[in-house]
Structure 1
Amino acid sequence: MNNLKDKWVLVTGASRGLGQLIAAFMAEQGCHMILHGRNLKNLEQTAEMVKKHNVKVHMVTCELSDLHAVDGMLQAIDTLGVDVELVFNNAGFQIGYHEDYYKTPDDDFLISYKANTVAPIKICYHFLPKMIEKGFGRIINTTSDIANEPQQAGYSASKAALDKLTVDLAGKLTGTGVTLNLVNPSWCQTDLGGPHAPNTPESALPGLVLPAFSSDKVNGLLINAQDFRNRRLSDALLMLENLHCYCT
């Protein structure tokens, strides 16, 4: 298991829900945190949770559907003078749910692709070369298992595009010490998922963070977080590594 103490971690969508849980979990492992949200006020609670673990914290803001703002956020992170070695592209945006899906607005797709596909891939493009140069890095992109729901086509299609791009990029990382994986938390009771979802946010741990701690053989995979619910991190990692070895 990778010892990640004192490494810098970027978590997008860290102000609440799954992103907040990821940030708290990684801080508990001794990681320093860069927390992203739409505004600083919304990040304050997460920052206080993280600081309890005696780690350093920075907060950055941007609207992910504004790609110029994403560029500005990345430039701001560069000025911090730290090496970001782990990235959780956790933030997701669900713009609409349309029962009359034949009338889905064009903007559902355009905005969804910017926020859920282009923004996380821009973040990957920004940090991957630096990670490769250093010989270590982990990026985890959060995906979705939504299927057969044209009512939310913009969201599901943008996540499917993210899946394709992630796997293609991961195929170029063999032997670099850097990995890029997808994690599906399944339908959870977050602000995005709503109160009727079958899974609590906590049930997605430790699955959401497993690729951060795994070997570089775990690369280009789609990992279902619920497969590891209620397991200790060490046991879940052993299970993941064994499953990967069996499949390959």
Structure 2
Amino acid sequence: MENYTYPTFDLTGKKALVTGGSKGIGLAIAAGLAHAGAEVLITGRNEAALREAAEGIKKQGHQIYWKSSDVTLKTEVEKLFEYIDQEFGQIDILVNNAGMNIRKPLVEVEEEDWDKVMGTNLKGIFLVGQQAAKRMIDQKSGRIINISSILGKIGSPLQTSYAASKGGIDQLTKVWAAELAEHDITVNSLAPAYIITPMTEPFLQDEERFEKIINRTMMKRMGRADEMIGPALFFASDASTYVTGQVLYIDGGWTAN
């Protein structure tokens, strides 16, 4: 029998950054990374929300830190990584999660709407990913996990800006994977369907829309934020050392239906 290397999800000693980490998917993944042993820094624009999120994870006995930052501004992102350099000395895992949505019919989308969504969802991913990549190249190791969406693959009404941004994320993931592979850096995307989060709860109050979503999903239910943790740990850990440039759909079977 061959000498196999058995994978582990243990992240002890790893330093992780999660953008948009104060709520929803970002908070769940941050908690999962911390539970697996990583020291986690969450960032976002709302200081009060970040503080509350960090205190909640700390109560579970995990290492968690927070620092406010606006990922749409290059100067803010640079300051964030200067802080990481000083306080953590390295970055092993980036979860590029910060995102937003403005749902409108095509003919009602304003230029400001487009710029706001693209600024957070695509420019923010680029600015943070660029800074992380510079450091990971020097380290000759790293894991970048971009949070995309099934809307980067499928068409859905009222999603002009959001779907375009998520499709862009999937392409960035592939390009970065190709560029960074020689430095032992993997780059992958997690693409969820509708997950119950503070961002999705308001429009899911529409019973007709809710039923359409449920009926389109093989598992006939919404996803939970904590169901993003396992896939994130897979990409963050040594369990996925030969996986890069991939988009993993966490969608209850939506895209296979």
TM-score with structure 2 length normalisation? 0.80
Whichever of the two has the greater Rg, that structure is 2
Output the CA distance in 1 between the equivalents of 2:171 and 2:142: 20
Mapped to 2, the partners of 1:6 and 1:138 lie a distance apart of 14
Letter in 1 for 2:116: I
Distance apart, 1:69 and its partner CA: 2.7
Q: In the TM superposition, what are the counterparts of 1:130-209 in structure 2 within 5 Å? A: 130-146=135-151, 147-194=154-201, 195=204, 196=210, 198-209=222-233
Distance 2:240 2:224 in 1: 28
Q: Distance in 1 between matches of 2:158 and 2:251?
A: 24
Distance in 2 (alpha carbons) for counterparts of 1:169 and 1:160: 14
- Report 1:62-73 matches (<5 A): 62-73=69-80
| Residue range with higher mean Cα deviation, 154-163 or 53-62 | 53-62
Identity %: 26
CA offset digits 1:200-229 (Å, max 9, x no partner): 22233312332112333100100123479x
Preserved CA contact (<8 Å) 2:149 2:166 = yes
The Cα shift of 1:178 comes to: 1.1
1:97: which partner in 2? Answer: 103
Tell me the distance in 2 between the aligned counterparts of 1:35 and 1:121. 17
Q: Distance in 1 between matches of 2:162 and 2:77?
A: 19
Q: TM-score of the superposition, structure 1-length normalised? A: 0.82
The CA deviation at 1:37 is 1.8
**Mean alpha-carbon deviation: is it higher for 204-213 or for 73-82?**
73-82
| In 1: Cα distance, 2:133 partner to 2:60 partner | 28
One-letter amino acid of the counterpart of residue 209, structure 1: L
Are the equivalent residues in 2 in contact too, given 1:208–1:225 (CA < 8 A)? no
Partner residue in 1 for 2:43: 36
Residue identity in the other structure for 1:199? G
Distance in 1 of aligned mates of 2:200 and 2:62? 30
- Residue 243 of structure 2 aligns to which amino acid in structure 1? V
What secondary structure, in the 3-state scheme, does the structure 2 residue paired with 1:50 have? helix
Residue among 243, 248, 256 paired with 1:218: 243
Change over 3 Å in CA distance of 1:18–1:136 after alignment to 2: same
Q: Which amino acid aligns with 1:4?
A: L
Query: Which whole-Å deviations, capped at 9, do the CAs of 1:93-147 have from their partners, x for residues lacking one?
Result: 11x2113x21311122212111111111111111113212222210100001123
Change over 3 Å in CA distance of 1:201–1:81 after alignment to 2: closer
Check conservation: 2:150, 2:249, Cα contact below 8 A.
no
Q: Is the 8 A contact 2:18 2:40 kept in 1?
A: yes
Deviation at 1:44, TM superposition (A): 2.2
CA distance in structure 1 between the aligned counterparts of 2:14 and 2:187, rounded to whole angstroms: 17
Map 1:47-66 onto structure 2 (within 5 A): 47-52=54-59, 54-66=61-73
C-alpha displacement at 1:13, in angstroms? Answer: 1.0
- One-letter amino acid matched to 2:125: P
Assess, with a 3 A threshold, how the Cα gap between structure 1 residues 107 and 169 changes in structure 2: closer, same or farther.
same
Distance 2:59 2:141 in 1: 27
Shift of 1:10: 0.4
* Aligned: 1:109 with 2:114: yes
- The Cα RMSD (Å) is 2.1
Question: What is the distance in 2 between the residues matched to 1:224 and 1:149?
Answer: 16
* Unmatched tracts of structure 1, length 5 or more: 229-248
- List structure 1 runs of 4+ shifted beyond 6 angstroms: none
Preserved contact between residue 15 and residue 88 of structure 2 (Cα < 8 Å): no
